[in-house]
Structure 1
């Protein structure tokens, strides 16, 4: 079961980053827990609603995200994902290239995995 859960969470991580780049915010919302805490490498914290609003208003435009998952650790109904992210984005009208370590926390709610937290930390 743990191996199947790890694989499922890996696939969901790929899906959430693809949804962000493609601007499929309905899919992103579907993957997210309502209490999502999305911490950017700048230290800014967004909720699910504020993050989606910033994407919808083009404050955040994600041109490309390379996300490499180093590990997925599943304990009960919680999964912790550690990886690297290279992000090409525009934030507040400024184009940026970011190199981050990332931590994602997923929880299983009523049989479905939902991303509860995201933390990006600048590597440089």
Structure 2
């Protein structure tokens, strides 16, 4: 895909699918969208690999109740797409219900014709 608008539209669709998957508890669908070398940071500063994140999700450590993910912009640079936006919602983490309001950066990489989530970094928005 060389057309930037088409790539941006696809990345927007993939972002929505990954959030829909985690809210639905469909972590196998999330895994299908993720790069094997995923670095998944949390607003607490904890960083998970794909394996450790999935273990926590499947074990019930993270329960996603609702998420809104407005995208501000998408920058495509070769086989990398940077998604700038927010991640706001309600989750339970370690048995504690939390309201999240974060700026977020997601990094997608295209390899062998498929886009995969390579990195994710949220930053809390001060109240």
Find the residue that maps to 1:42 and give its secondary structure. Answer: coil
In the TM superposition, structure 1's runs of 4+ consecutive aligned residues that sit over 3 Å from their partners are none
Look up the match of 1:98: 100
The answer to whether the aligner puts 1:44 opposite 2:46 as a matched pair is yes
Q: What is the correspondence of 1:39-118 to structure 2 with a 5 Å cutoff?
A: 39-118=41-120
2:50, 2:62 → 1: CA distance?
14
Find the residue that maps to 2:69 and give its secondary structure. Answer: strand
Which consecutive unaligned segments of at least 5 residues does structure 1 have? Answer: none
1:85, 1:39 → 2: CA distance?
13
TM-score by structure 1 length? 0.99
Root-mean-square deviation (CA, aligned residues, Å) is 0.5
2:96, 2:32 → 1: CA distance?
28
The answer to whether the aligner puts 1:120 opposite 2:127 as a matched pair is no
1:9, 1:77 → 2: CA distance?
12
**Displacement after TM superposition at 1:85 (Å):** 1.3
1:109, 1:23 → 2: CA distance?
26
Find the residue that maps to 1:71 and give its secondary structure. Answer: strand
Which consecutive unaligned segments of at least 5 residues does structure 2 have? Answer: none
Find the residue that maps to 2:119 and give its secondary structure. Answer: strand
**Displacement after TM superposition at 1:84 (Å):** 1.0
Look up the match of 1:22: 24
**Displacement after TM superposition at 1:99 (Å):** 0.3
Question: How many pairs were matched up?
Answer: 124
